[in-house]
Structure 1
């Protein structure tokens, strides 16, 4: 129904106007007229099978100011951000909040590995693999869509050095350079490198 509509945004030559996950649906349009057209289409098709839209749960977000809009006398809420698949989407495209959240969750995941990382019965290569398997996915969740600015680059770099020093039990006060830490870890791919790889794979899928 929505796939046949002309309204939407163009991505790699394809028209995309909705994202669906479980019972959540996100509509996307390039103008207010297109948005209204898509929403009314959903409303009309829903009524055909005796379903009603819950206007109180619906929200509108736009990259430019918009006027309020009503459906059946109820005004839809206008927001500057919303949560989709546990990621915060903002009107200005800022990913800082989501990156901070992932880094905090990564710290928690790293802390949960402390008992294993302290064990002398586990080799260093195995500990590195544990971090890559248990911490990296937490930090990189949703990174394919991140716009990483200089400040976020610095946060990610600081986090990277924090967990490798923690793994090696090297305090920040120790006179060891970051380069020597990374050399001892001997990674095939860095955290930033894996993020870039995921971004490129995602872009390739879109193309």
Structure 2
């Protein structure tokens, strides 16, 4: 049996204390913590907190410090960077691009492909994201790229460039969807 744990603490000392308790409790039950599969990530950039990249050694077990890992399909890193999720969604977009640009398919069908195949890939794990202006901009750029593939380049004579989300009759843009998802 394999169990996944997520332990969140404010200090390295508290992390060591909780891991010590966890190892002791597991041993009492006859379980073993696999040190090769147990990793931790430090998000504290405060240099006074000590070396955040050093491994933790507890009861002769060495727990590796990592800068990034995949948890439930989502990349976890100290910067809370969403660029990896956008890259994954971009791969999905490129895999579907010939269908999204196919004028033989109705626009409604192409939008359904976008909403059912690309948006879930992009927003998976987004409940834990903290969006910065840069992240919002990257999400908007990605969304406009997909919508331009579906609807083609649309221009209005009065304004020059177009607000493509209005022309596509989309209820909300992707960065708003990410913001309103419940935790």
- Ranges in structure 1 where 5+ consecutive residues have no aligned partner: 1-21, 203-207
1:182 partnered with 2:169: no
- Ranges in structure 2 where 5+ consecutive residues have no aligned partner: none
The within-5 A match list for 1:150-161 is 150-161=133-144
Q: Give the number of the structure with larger relative contact order, counting CA–CA contacts within 8 Å between residues 6 or more apart.
A: 2
Specify the alignment match of 2:93 in structure 1.
110
User: What TM-score comes out, normalization by structure 1 length?
Assistant: 0.69
1:83 partnered with 2:66: no
SS at match of 2:5: strand
Q: For the structure 1 residues 117 and 36, does the alpha-carbon distance in structure 2 shift closer, same or farther, using more than 3 Å as the test?
A: closer
SS at match of 2:89: helix
* Alpha-carbon separation, structure 2, partners of 1:144 and 1:36: 28
Specify the alignment match of 1:193 in structure 2.
176
* Alpha-carbon separation, structure 2, partners of 1:33 and 1:176: 58
Q: For the structure 1 residues 25 and 110, does the alpha-carbon distance in structure 2 shift closer, same or farther, using more than 3 Å as the test?
A: same
Pairs aligned (count)? 172
* Alpha-carbon separation, structure 1, partners of 2:147 and 2:93: 10
The within-5 A match list for 1:1-207 is 23-62=3-42, 63=44, 64-66=49-51, 69-91=56-78, 94-96=79-81, 99-170=82-153, 177-179=161-163, 181-198=164-181, 201-202=182-183
**RMSD over aligned Cα atoms:** 2.8
* Alpha-carbon separation, structure 2, partners of 1:143 and 1:38: 27
Q: For the structure 1 residues 151 and 75, does the alpha-carbon distance in structure 2 shift closer, same or farther, using more than 3 Å as the test?
A: same
Post-superposition offset of 1:33:
4.2
User: What TM-score comes out, normalization by structure 2 length?
Assistant: 0.77
SS at match of 2:9: coil
Which structure has the highest strand share of the two? 1
SS at match of 2:99: helix
C-alpha deviations, 1:130-154, integer Å up to 9, x for none? 2111111111112221122222222
Post-superposition offset of 1:95:
2.1
